[in-house]
Structure 1
Amino acid sequence: MPSLILLATSPRVPAGLLSRDAWRALDAADLVLAADVEEDLPLALADDGVAVTPIGHERATERARMLVESAWTQETIWIGSPDGDPGLSDAIATEVSRLDDGPEVEVLVGSWDVEGGRLLDAVAVMDRLRAPGGCAWVAAQDHASLAPFVLEEAQEVHEAIGAVIADPDDPSVREELTDELGDLLFQVLFHARVAADHAQEPFDVDDVAAALVDKLVRRNPHVFGDATAETLEEIEAQWQAIKAQEKAARTDGPAA
C-alpha cells in the first residue's frame, strides 16, 4: 500500500538543501503536496523538476483527511509548512485510527538545524521589529538612547553569573543566566541593526560577527596557525602581544 510521508525541514537551511533520503522519496512519490507552492522549498523543488501541487484546505482536520485519502492510492509527500503545520500530525493520527487498514505514515527529516541556527531567528526577529510596520518604540531608538541598557544588561549578566558560581547545579539560576545572556545579546543585535541604517557608514550584524571571527583567529595562532603556546601564561602573553601590535597599527583608536 502507498504511504504518506511528512517531509520536515529546517527553515534555517537553504531551501532545496535536502538529505539523500528526502530526494529519493521525492523522486519516487506519485504526488507532492504543499499548502503554498510559492514558499521557498516548493519553489526550489519546482526548479529541480519536482511538481508540487497546492492543497486548498486550511483547517488541519480537512488537510489531514485529504492527505490520508491521497495516500490510499498513491505515494504522497506533504511538504511541511514554515509554521510547522499546527495540529496536522494529530489530525492525521485521528484519521488513520478510524481506518481498519490505513496507509503507513512516516515523518522524514529532510534537513536539520545547523548549530547556532536560532541566532538567525534572533536576527530575523530584530529586523522585523525595526522594519516598517514593526515596533514603533524599536524604530525610534538610536545608539544614544540604547547605551544605558547595555550597562544595565551587562550588570544583570554579572549578577546572574555570580549566582551560578555560588550554586552551579541549581537549574533556576542557570535559567536566569540564560535569560540575562539573551537580553545582552539583544543589545548587540539592536545596536548592529541601528548601525545598518546609517546613511554614510553602515554596518550590520554580519560585519560584527566577521570582525569577531577575524579577531579570534588572528589572536589565537596557536590554534589557527603555526604558533606554539602551551601554558595559560604563554597564551595570555601571546594574546596581549598581538593586541598591542594591532593597537600600534590602528590609526582610528585602540584595539578592543
Structure 2
Amino acid sequence: MTLVLLATTHRVAPGLLTWPAWQRLREARVLTAAADHPQLPYLRDAGIEIEVVPPDARPVVAAAREADVLWLTAPDGDAEFVERIGELVVDDPVDVEIVHGSYDLPGARLLDVVAVMAKLRTDCPWDRKQTHETLIPYLIEETYETADAVAQGDHVSLQEELGDVLMQVAFHSVVASEREDGFTIDDVAAGIVEKLVRRHPHVFAGLDVEGADEVVANWDAIKKAEKGDRPLLGGVPDSQPAPQLAENLVRKARKAGVPDELFEGYEERADKAKSVDTDLRDWSDRFRARVQAWERSSRG
C-alpha cells in the first residue's frame, strides 16, 4: 500500500494536472484538509470523490496501511502535516510517494507580484494613496540603485534591486488599471513582447544579418518607421539630469547625421558641467564619510 502526497501550484490554472497525477487520483482514496482547495471542483467534475478530513497525520498513515491513499496537499504545501508523516513512517515504514500535479512555468512568480500589489493597493493606506506622480522618485531611486549594484559587481544586491524596479512597474500598472482609459500589467507585457518581436526580424521572421551592427541598424530603421513623423529628438526624456540630457541629445543627433555647426557651444558647456558635477560629487563623497563617522560615534 502507498501514501501519495500530491502537490500542485496555484500559479497554474486548477484542473491542469500531469497525467501521473490523474492516474494516482483515479487509483487511490483521495483525502485533503483544504475544503476550499481550488482543485476540488475540477476533480469532482472528473468523477473523483474527495474526502475532507482533519489534518491529522496518524489516521492518514493508518489508512495507507490498508489501501492506497492520496493526500491532496493544500496550496501552501501542508508543511507541518508532511513533516509529521515523515516522523510516523520512520519507525513503522509505509511507502510514501511524492507526485507533482503541476509545475511552475518560468516567470510564474510574476503572478505573485501582481497579486501582492493588488492587495497592497486595496488594503494598505500608504499604497492606496499613491499616484504615478508620487511614485516617480522611487522609480528613479531604484533605477540608480540597480545601476550601482551593476557598477560594483554586486550580484546579490542586483537581484534585490531588480525586484524593487519590478515592483515599481507593477505598482504603476495597478494604479493605471483604475482609470477608465487605463491599462493593466498584461497590456504592458503584451506591448513589450510585440515590440521585441517586431524589432528582431532576424530572430522571429527569418531575416539574415551579419552581426550586431546590422541588428542595431535594423532596429533603428524599424523604430523610425514606427514613429513616423515624430521629431528626431522627441524620444529623449527631459526629466534626465542636465548632463545626461545634453549627452543623449547630442549622441542621437550625431547618429542621425545632424550638421556639425548645430552642435556649437556643446563641448564648452559639457566640460563646465562635468567640472560642476565632479565638484558636487567630491563634496557628496566627503559628506557621506562625515555622516558615517558621526553614525559610528553615535553608536558609542
Look up the match of 2:95: 104
Q: 1:71 to 1:87 in 2, by over 3 A?
A: same
User: What is the aligned partner in structure 2 of residue 224 from structure 1?
Assistant: 204
Q: In the alignment, does 2:39 pair up with 1:41?
A: yes
**Deviation above 3 Å: which 4+ runs of structure 1?**
253-256
Whether the 8 Å CA contact 1:247–1:254 is kept in 2: the answer is no
Taking the TM superposition and a 5 Å limit, the aligned residue runs for 1:169-248 are 173-198=154-179, 200-248=180-228
- Deviations 1:158-214 (Å, cap 9, x if unpaired)? 1111011xxxxxxxx21100000100111000000100011x202010000000000
Hey, what's the Cα distance between the residues in 2 that align with 1:130 and 1:92? 39
Between the aligned partners of 1:192 and 1:215, the Cα distance in structure 2 is 18
- Compare 103-112 and 209-218 and name the one that shifted more: 103-112
Gap regions ≥5 residues in structure 1:
58-62, 165-172
SS at match of 1:117: coil
Q: CA RMSD in A?
A: 1.8
**AA of the residue aligned to 2:71:** W
Cα offset for 1:250?
7.3
User: Could you tell me whether the CA contact under 8 Å between 1:129 and 1:135 is conserved in 2?
Assistant: yes
Residue 145 of structure 2 corresponds to which residue in structure 1?
Answer: 156
Amino acid at match of 1:64: A
> How far apart in 2 are the matches of 1:193 and 1:41?
28
**C-alpha displacement of 1:10:** 1.6
Given that 1:243 and 1:255 are in contact with CA atoms closer than 8 Å, whether structure 2 keeps it comes out as: no
Distance in 2 (alpha carbons) for counterparts of 1:12 and 1:255: 37
* Structure with larger RCO (C-alpha < 8 A, sep 6+): 1
2:28 corresponds to 1:20: no
1:92 Cα shift? 0.5
**How many pairs were matched up?**
235
Task: Tell me the SS of whatever aligns to 2:113.
Answer: helix
1:118 and 2:109 correspond: yes
In structure 2, what is the Cα distance between the partners aligned to 1:209 and 1:126?
A: 16
Deviates more, 1:106-115 or 1:211-220: 106-115
- State the distance in 1 between where 2:198 and 2:142 align: 29
Q: Partner amino acid for 1:89? A: V
| 3-state SS, counterpart of residue 77 of structure 2 | coil
The aligned counterpart of 1:94 is 87
CA distance in 2 between counterparts of 1:32 and 1:148 reads 53
Partner of 2:120: 129
Residue 56 (1) aligns with residue 54 (2): yes
Secondary structure in 1 aligned to 2:30? Answer: strand
Cα separation, 2, equivalents of 1:39 and 1:91: 21
Gaps of 5+ in 2: 237-300
SS state of the match for residue 78, structure 1?
Answer: strand
State the distance in 2 between where 1:249 and 1:88 align.
64
Q: Deviations over 1:30-58 (max 9, x none)?
A: x101112332112211111111110134x
Equivalent position SS for 2:99: strand
Superposed displacement of residue 66, structure 1: 2.0
Q: Does 1:77 align with 2:66?
A: no
1:254 to 1:69, Cα distance in 2 relative to 1, 3 A: farther
Alpha-carbon separation, structure 2, partners of 1:233 and 1:73: 69
Aligned to 2:60: 67
Change (3 A) 1:13 1:249: farther
Post-superposition offset of 1:216: 0.2
- Which residue pairs with 1:145 in the alignment? 134
Q: What amino acid sits opposite 1:19 in the alignment?
A: T
Percent identical: 40
Q: 1:87 aligns to what SS in structure 2?
A: helix
**Amino acid paired to 2:42:** A
In our comparison, the structure showing a higher alpha carbon Rg is: 2
Give the partner amino acid of 1:156: E
Distance of 2:79 and 2:187 partners within structure 1: 36
Structure 1, residues 73-105: CA drift from partner, whole Å, max 9, x if none? Answer: 121101110111121222011122242xx3211
Q: Secondary structure in 2 aligned to 1:238?
A: helix
